[in-house]
Amino acid sequence: MGEDRRLAAVVALAQGMAAAHGSREAWRAAATGACRALGGSFAALSVWERELGRLRVLVNVGELAEGEEEFPEDEAYPVHQFAEITEFLHEQWAGGGEPDAWVETAEGPAAGREPGYCHQRVAALRRRGRGCCVVAPIVLHGRAWGELYVARPAGEAVFGRGDADFATVLASVVAAGIAQTERLEEARRLAFTDSLTGLANRRAVDVRLERAIERHRRDDAVVSLVVCDLNGLKRVNDTHGHAAGDRLLERFGSVLSLCGAMLPGALAARLGGDEFCLLAVGPPADQVVKAAGELCRRAAELELGDGVACGVASTEDPIGPVRSARRLFRLADAAQYRAKAERAVKPVVAGRAGPDDPVVRLADEPSQGEGGERRRFRGRHAP
């Protein structure tokens, strides 16, 4: 491959990774770009999971052999089978050099390679009908992150020293792309995370709730929202200081997360200040109300604070058609407002009536049945 073609291949790989949305797309772009650049038929990207002592394959692209998947669930290999990642590479670094790529063939060690590192790779090449491979270490933040692997079928030209040198360059481009992807994902995570409690934030709830309502309209999925207001936070701040108030918020966040675990896939979030919520898609309304009741019980047992005011709204209850996220939010908030006004120790549930469970509706809703009351509510989340 000429210098111009190799330069174009490097640019294409970098552009492919830069355009990726999320890690999986970045991994695929890295492997696909390297495979094309080196004229391979197959490529894989693997990460070294130090805590588990294994190389885990993140993505396979190209001509897959039997048993290989594009994004494998559990394709991993004990790192002792590939000792070069823990021994050979560190010897290179110790000498002041950078870890270079190397070539393996189905016939045994390539020219210039020390024996003793390649037997597992040789066996894998033979087993999968491949004639040779080039392996390039990926170094991120000064440490071995994983490896880039590109192979050719048996009978095709064997990779040479020039290919290995080029693979080393490609691995550096991949490392830069992975670092950029990790930074972007961390930025996205922070954008949707409450910094104090580690829960989701209001932005995350808004995005997830919009999608949930779309699913409800399309598939009639049950969508339930629990909105709660932590009582007594101002008193704690005024009496014990804001550090104590922050500890109360953190402890309640842990309780909310624990109760949210009762609802598969539920999102636990802090909306801001002393307001929190749980968003559940799928579980029956009764299951959500039960989790909200447990939340009230546990919140009342916290050392500081005065429990929690909790309102629930679910599309499974008789609350009328829910065509927007704002409507469900307003109903749950109205129920929470009622719970706070009445100092209720249990959740107030929109659309349900009973001695301890008053009906909650918005001002623009028709009353249900003769004698039904109409309540005006101007919630904090209403426009």
CA 203 to chain centre: 16
> Percent of the chain scored above 70 by pLDDT?
83
Please name the residues in contact with 1: beta carbons below 8 A apart, sequence gap of 6 or more: 9, 37, 39, 166
Q: Which residue type does 237 have?
A: N
At 312, which helix (H) or strand (E)? Answer: strand 308-314
Amino acid (1-letter code) at residue 179: A
Question: How many residues make up the chain in this entry?
Answer: 383
pLDDT tens for 319-338 read 999 999 999 999 999 999 99
Whole-number pLDDT of residue 98: 57
Beta strands 267-272 and 76-78: pairing type?
unpaired
**Cβ(188)–Cβ(182) below 8 Å:** no
Q: Which residue has the tokens 């079928």?
A: 153
Hey, how many other C-beta atoms are within 10 angstroms of the C-beta on 245? 22
More confident site: 209 or 353: 209
Mean pLDDT over 134-156 rounds to 90
Average pLDDT over the chain reads 84
Asked if 10 and 36 count as a contact pair (C-beta separation under 8 A), the reply is no
Between these two residues, 139 and 309, which has the higher pLDDT value?
Answer: 309
Alpha carbon 48 to chain centroid distance? 20
Q: What percent of the chain has pLDDT over 90?
A: 59
Helices 3-18 and 161-191 cross at an angle (nearest 10°) of: 20
**Position 1 confidence tier, pLDDT thresholds 50, 70, 90:** low
Rounded distance between C-alpha atoms, residue 102 and residue 342, angstroms: 73
Band (pLDDT 50/70/90 cuts) for residue 115 is very low
* 268-288: pLDDT as tens digits: 999 999 999 999 999 999 999
pLDDT for position 87: 54
**pLDDT at 159 > cutoff 50:** yes
Residue 144 has which token pair? 């071995």
What pLDDT shows up at residue 95? 47
Secondary element (H or E) of residue 210: helix 202-219
* Model confidence pLDDT, tens digit, residues 177-228: 999 988 888 777 778 888 899 899 999 999 999 999 999 999 999 999 999 9
Q: Using alpha carbons only, what angle is made at residue 103 by residues 102 and 105, rounded to the nearest 5 degrees? A: 155
40-70 residue pLDDT tens: 999 999 998 877 878 899 999 999 998 899 9
Q: Which residue has the higher pLDDT, 381 or 311?
A: 311
User: Whole-angstrom Cα distance, residue 102 to residue 120?
Assistant: 15
* Amino acid letter for position 376: R
Question: Cα–Cα distance between 160 and 35 in angstroms, integer?
Answer: 15
* pLDDT recorded at residue 112: 46
pLDDT at residue number 281? 95
> Does the pLDDT value for residue 359 go beyond 50?
no
